[in-house]
Structure 1
Amino acid sequence: MGRLLIEEKLNIVQSRIIKLDLQLSEEQLDFILHPMLQNCYLSACPGSGKTEVVGIKAAYEIAEWKDNFCGIAVLSFTKNAAKEISDRIKKYSGVSSVRHPHFVGTIDSWLHSYLLHPFAHKTANYDSKSDDKSFRIIDNEERYDFLTSFKTVLSVKPYKDAWVNEYYFECTEPPTLQSQSRYLDLSNILNPIKETLEKNKKKLLKAGLATYADAEFLCYYMLKNRASILSLIVKRFPVIYIDECQDLSLNQLEILQLLNDSGAKVHFVGDRNQSIYEFKKVYVEKINNFIIKNGMTEIHLTKNFRSNQNIVNVAMGLESYNTGKTAKKIIGHEVLLTEECCLVWEYEPSDFISLPQNFINIIKDINLSLSEESVKIEINNSVILARAHSTLSLFKNTPGSKLSKIELIANALSCWSNTPRTGKDMQNALHQLGKSLCMLGYNGSGNHQNQYCPENYTNFEWRALLFDLITSISTPENKIFPFDDVNWKDWTASLKSFLKNYWNNLRDPNNWDSVKTKIKSPSGFADKPVAETVAAIQNSYTNSVRMTTFHDVKGETLDAALIVSSPNKKSKGGHFEHWISQNSSESEYVRFAYVASSRPKHLLIWAIPKVKNNKHLKRIQELGFSLKSFT
């Protein structure tokens, strides 16, 4: 295609699709016109219009598809991403183009529909009593009562066990056990325990139950051992496109390798610099090896339509740190609203709490300097980012380490009473109440991602309990809320009386006699009004600007981003030194910064702890940041 003029390439594409109402770059056209029967990897920089071009590519190929019994599979990782691609295919090739014989959806739904449910019972020895041989999928974090019969005791003193949905078989030869829980370490288990874990996992699969990771293993194992089914699935889907290929796990890669080896053509689309899911067993090295092993033609999209050039340059510099190679030149196409659009702030511990308000202030100052309303930075589309919620918790109306168990309950009630009560208010309230109750009743042993849910509750049961508790405790006749003018000493006495009566509603909590001594006024606050103290905890900016983690904004386009470094290196990947590391073992941490820093269009700020004689500051400035005081 290299010899054709861009106009000729465009005419070829337009000849197959219904309507093309956007200007395509030559790079995009090269991907669309790349031969479907030759594996390729589209390396798409942030903001390159990847989703649009994938939709046009699929529409272009489907338009000329002649076979009624086999089709193209276009796979992504989330329902939203799959819907976006599907909508674009329909736009350019008609509604019928996403129907049989083609498939557009998530990789999980494709595996489950065409492999797991119809065939995997054969290799799992699952013999359903009915004609339905499909598997029931269970989440790896759920603790259903019926799963207790599959538990494995790892040690007696101290007692430790492993739930059967906490681990899975990895697609190796022979299969090996891998943990998918941060609480389960399988690195040094003894052979007898390992055999029991394997036995319980096989027992689970034989019962027709599987986690998502189990489902992938079953699909792999079935394809590996049943050549006839492998041949059929390759004939059914001879061409497969994988969107966001940087998120492929080892098991998914092994499945694709079997398909590719049997004749299926596999096309990857994504950005390996955005591979940030090692905790899900996603390794960029494995993805690189797949691309090389299968001779994928590499096509690059180097035009970034999201960010201005200064922000693009920061991302390019981070890519060089990540790969150890000079990054390919990326061109930013967003207008430059201000010359000082990439800033680094150094904060003292006393400055930390004021970072959000200063972020809002600088956005307002930039907007005041702009004459056109249409190009101003939207605070509602700006975000404060950190590696972990523990860093953000110091800003938000959520439990921070400095709040006592009783302050958490008071603050939860205050959040719950907000008018109008937003979804965020409810989330914050239940999170704080859950933490307090978990600390009082279960020694703090709970899942912080699910309102500190203890092990002997399912997530649903725990949320239901918290909802009932906060509803009951807010009833005026209990004289706990509203706070009115009551001081902490009197309020705590009322709270203790209420909780004593409520304690029997909990499942196997700590004995009340050991708990009641912990329900006391915050130190030095006994005679101070509760309402006054809680008001001091609330921060007015928390509802003005969104705060979340790096992983949560992957794929998003933002107006501005404040990226906050943790004060120390305890947060792996959360400290600024991790973001510019040239240590190969910390390359994923650099990719964290790359993902976060490539989200904004107009303004990018790193907030880092002030360090005496900071030897890393020069390297940050070399990325394109300007050091600026914010106080």
Structure 2
Amino acid sequence: MTFPSEEQRRYLGSSIDDNVYLEACPGSGKTEVIAAKVAREIEDWQGYPGGIALLSFANSAADELRSRLIAHRQRAPVAYPHWVSTIDSFILNCLVGPVAHRLTGYAGKDGDFRLRLVDASSTVYVKTKYAIERIHVPANQYDFDLATGRFVFRTGEPGLDRKLNAMDLADWQLRDLREAKTRFKAAGFATYRDVEHLAIQILKEPKLLDFCARLALRYPFLVIDECQDLSVEQLTVLEGLLGLGVKMHIVGDLNQSIYGFRHADPLRVVQFIRDHGFIRLLLRQNFRSSQSIVNLCSELVPGNKTHGNPTIQPVMPVIVEYDDCPSEAMPLFMRLSDSYANRVIVSRGHSTLNRFFSGANDLNNTERLALACSLTGNDSAFAIQKSLALFGEWLSSKLDYSAKPNSFHCPVDVESELEWRLFLHQALAFITSAGASVAGQNWSRWCRVAKARLNELPMQAFVIADIAVAIAPLATLGLRSPAGLGEQLVTQRLSLVTLHQRRIRLATIHEIKGETHEATMLVSASRRGDQSHWADWISDKNLEAARLAYVASSRPKNLLVWAVKKLKAAERITLQRIGFEIANQ
């Protein structure tokens, strides 16, 4: 990629006195061009003491923007009067934090009037006065949703949430919910959604007009990345800022809007762009992927055709079929992608990913310990969780202690579940780094080495006192290889070891948004529903299911594979027409 391209140069030359929507396809270098644009504007900035706010949605994205911006400024730090953060942080710290107490009546503590942010899992004693479905609902377990005009409940109990969210609440119940929220904020608490509602209120409050005018002078220009993820509350805040004279450039790809569960709606963003006369600029060159992958992605969603990277040898996207379990597709994907280093298996949700671990249920205790060790070092969050769960289960079964539910089999005598999870992680790292890696070992040798490491485990420096007491019996514990398998390689029994050895990662679509892979396999569920089946992905280009497939399918540079349940002849033709070839099993 030669930076900047003609399209990128057009955006770099755009005016910060105009509101601009930069529509950027996957792999278009938008992060780089945003950072270059802001660096250029900082260099020529005449608006001191006002500054530029560069905002994204996740901390990781904001950090990446900051590092790219610093690189474009020859390592000069981003300092006052400019600001780089998440949009949540900007709304909280710059808009709501300084004046929220003037609306909520919060008296502050020792002169500190900052709101304390809490989530639904926090213990808060401000509750509704009257019971709904037999419970007094804590004020941090529900929020008002502007998109639906209803309260949304998150009590942590799925069945109760479904019941509460389906209810048509009476006026007295709505009033009780609002009054509990008022008391909650008056006590100095807020959820993130409360903060957004306070921001909207502040921007409309006559007694705070002077503050809002000063805010517009303090940040006269905003750049907002991933604009397709803006909620109705955030768009309402931005409308308020536009009304104060703030100019903004918003950047994104509406076809990558995949947060419908929080009511991010690309049509609402389109309306926002039209209503406020944003100038539309395009980045249509995909520097990430081959033309064959770009062509396939263009078939999934509406919009103009984009151009792939001509320097990447095009490989046709491939359909791999399975009979019963998606994990059947893994060996063929491994063969197809053998020459690539960065390979990821992706699905809509964890239930499909779990099918890749279904064989773990048929393993005995020793084999489960080996599987936990085999997954150690895999950088997939899913694999890490699985390895900790398997090891915790093994310890519980061998040491016969009472365990806490849903906490990786943490002993009841261990006070901190966080310390227990840290111990499990460190213990597995110790065992595998000290010779008990499964790679290349038969069961007899692996069990002998693993037993020695387990016997030493209670004495290690990273083991805190109460955990050392709980696992003390490990010092004399034996470990036998599975009956009749002593000379067999461990890897022959543990089919998933290849995931670890070859660094194939498992992740959901939401987890890999924004990433680049060399090879990606998107796994379809075996049945339709929950936007997880390939037929959902191609049925309507305007649905979120299509956007989910688009996000996942636009990650790889070289090879895209869809793993689907055995196809009928007509289904094969349908998938071939949009750009796939069917792999021979």
With normalisation by structure 1, the TM-score equals 0.73
CA distance in 2, matches of 1:134, 1:35: 36
Q: Does 1:310 align with 2:262?
A: no
CA contact (8 A) 1:415 1:426 kept: no
Provide the residue aligned with 1:539 in structure 2.
496
Q: Give the superposition deviation at 1:88.
A: 2.8
**Conservation of the 8 A alpha-carbon contact between 2:97 and 2:114:** yes
Amino acid at match of 2:497: S
Deviation at residue 363 of structure 1 after TM alignment: 1.8
Q: How far off is 1:161 after superposition?
A: 6.5
Q: How does 1:465-480 map to 2 (within 5 A)?
A: none
- Kindly indicate whether the alpha-carbon contact (under 8 Å) linking 1:391 and 1:566 is maintained by their aligned counterparts in 2: yes
Instruction: Give 1:188's aligned residue.
Output: 167
CA distance in 1, matches of 2:141, 2:297: 36
- Secondary structure of the residue aligned to 1:276 is coil
Matches within 5 A, 1:421-432: 427-432=385-390
Match of 2:449 in 1: none
1:462 to partner: Cα distance? 4.3
Q: Identity of aligned pairs, percent?
A: 31
Determine if contact 2:372/2:391 at 8 Å carries over to the other structure.
no
Task: Write the deviation string for residues 38-68 of structure 1: whole angstroms up to 9, x where unpaired.
Answer: 1110000111110111111112222221122
Q: How many Å separate the matches in 1 of 2:376 and 2:77?
A: 44
Q: Structure 2: give runs of 5+ residues left out of the alignment.
A: 432-442, 446-465, 467-481
2:528 match: 569
Number of residue-to-residue matches in the alignment: 525
Distance apart, 1:624 and its partner CA: 1.1
1:622 aligns with 2:580: no
The residue number in structure 1 matching 2:327 is: 353
* 1:79 aligns with one of 51, 59, 78: 59
Deviation at 1:134, TM superposition (A): 0.7
Counterpart code for 1:206:
A
Against the structure 1 CA distance between its residues 420 and 268, is the aligned structure 2 distance closer, same or farther, given a 3 Å change threshold? Answer: closer
Report what 1:581 is aligned to: 539
**Are 2:349 and 1:382 equivalent residues in the alignment?**
no
- 1:127 aligns with 107
Structure 2: distance between partners of 1:471 and 1:22:
44
Measured in 1, the distance between the counterparts of 2:188 and 2:88 equals 17
- Quote the offset at 1:181 in angstroms: 7.0
Instruction: Please give the alpha-carbon distance, in whole angstroms, between the structure 1 residues aligned to 2:42 and 2:124.
Output: 45
User: Does residue 142 of structure 2 align to residue 167 of structure 1?
Assistant: yes
Deviation at 1:428, TM superposition (A): 1.5
Is 1:150 equivalent to 2:127 in the alignment?
yes
1:51 pairs with one of 31, 36, 41: 31
For the 8 Å contact 2:337–2:343, the answer to whether it is kept is no
Task: Tell me the residue number matched to 2:193.
Answer: 213
Match of residue 218 from structure 2 = 236
User: 2:534 and 2:270 mapped to 1: Cα distance?
Assistant: 26
List per-residue Cα deviations over 1:462-511 (Å, max 9, x = no partner).
Answer: 444567799999xx9xxxxxx999xxxxxxxxxxxxxxxxxxx9xxxxxx
Offset, 1:534: 9.9
Taking a change above 3 Å as real, the CA distance of residues 232 and 88 of structure 1, as seen in their structure-2 partners, is: same
Of residues 75-84 and 41-50 in structure 1, the stretch that sits farther from structure 2 once superposed is 75-84
Q: Which residue of 2 aligns with 1:227?
A: 209
Partner Cα distance (1:319, 1:604) in 2: 17
Map 1:235-274 to 2 at 5 A: 235-274=217-256
1:323-360 CA distance string (max 9 Å, x none): xxxx312111153435x43111222116x333222111
Q: 1:102 to 1:421 in 2, by over 3 A?
A: closer
Provide the rounded CA distance (Å) in 1 between the counterparts of 2:99 and 2:389. Answer: 42
For structure 1, the residue ranges without an aligned partner over 5 or more in a row are: 1-20, 321-326, 368-377, 477-482, 486-504, 506-526
Kept in 1: contact 2:289–2:308 (CA 8 A): yes
Which residue of structure 2 lines up, in the alignment, with residue 496 of structure 1? none
Deviation of 1:597 after TM superposition, in Å, equals: 0.5
The answer to whether the Cα contact below 8 Å between 2:127 and 2:136 also exists between their aligned partners in 1 is no
Task: State the partner residue of 2:451.
Answer: none
Q: 1:166: how far off?
A: 3.0
- Could you tell me how far apart the structure 2 residues matched to 1:330 and 1:172 are? 32
Conservation of the 8 A alpha-carbon contact between 2:118 and 2:189: yes
Q: Distance in 2 between matches of 1:297 and 1:593?
A: 29
Q: Using a 3 Å threshold, how does the CA distance of structure 1 residues 94 and 417 change in structure 2: closer, same or farther?
A: closer
Q: Alignment partner for residue 311 of structure 2, among 335, 338, 360?
A: 335
Helix, strand or coil at the partner of 1:574: coil
Matched, 1:363 2:322: no
Residue type at the aligned position of 1:259: L
Residue in 2 that maps onto 1:23: 3
Aligned to 1:551: 510
Checking the alignment, whether the CA contact within 8 Å between 2:375 and 2:497 is kept in structure 1 is no
- Is 1:403 the equivalent of 2:361? yes
Q: Report the AA paired with residue 269 of structure 1.
A: V
The residue type equivalent to 1:215 in the other structure is V
Letter in 2 for 1:328: N
Query: What secondary structure is seen at the aligned counterpart in 2 of 1:228?
Result: helix
* Change over 3 Å in CA distance of 1:243–1:409 after alignment to 2: farther
Aligned-pair Cα RMSD in Å: 4.1
- Give, as a single letter, the amino acid of the residue that structure 2 aligns with 1:539: L
Structure 2: how far apart are the matches of 1:528 and 1:472?
26
Distance in structure 2 (CA, Å) of the matches to 1:164 and 1:529: 59
**Cα separation, partners in 2 of 1:353 and 1:68, compared to 1, 3 Å:** closer
Counterpart among 30, 36, 42 of residue 62 in structure 1: 42
Q: Match of 2:222, SS? A: strand
| 1:9-52 Cα deviation digits (max 9, x unpaired) | xxxxxxxxxxxx95322211111111211111000011111011
Structure 1 pair 261/180, CA: closer, same or farther in 2 (3 Å)?
farther
Instruction: Write the distance in 1 (CA, Å) between the matches of 2:141 and 2:497.
Output: 40
Q: Is the 8 A contact 2:375 2:384 kept in 1?
A: no
Maintained 8 Å contact 1:117/1:135 = yes
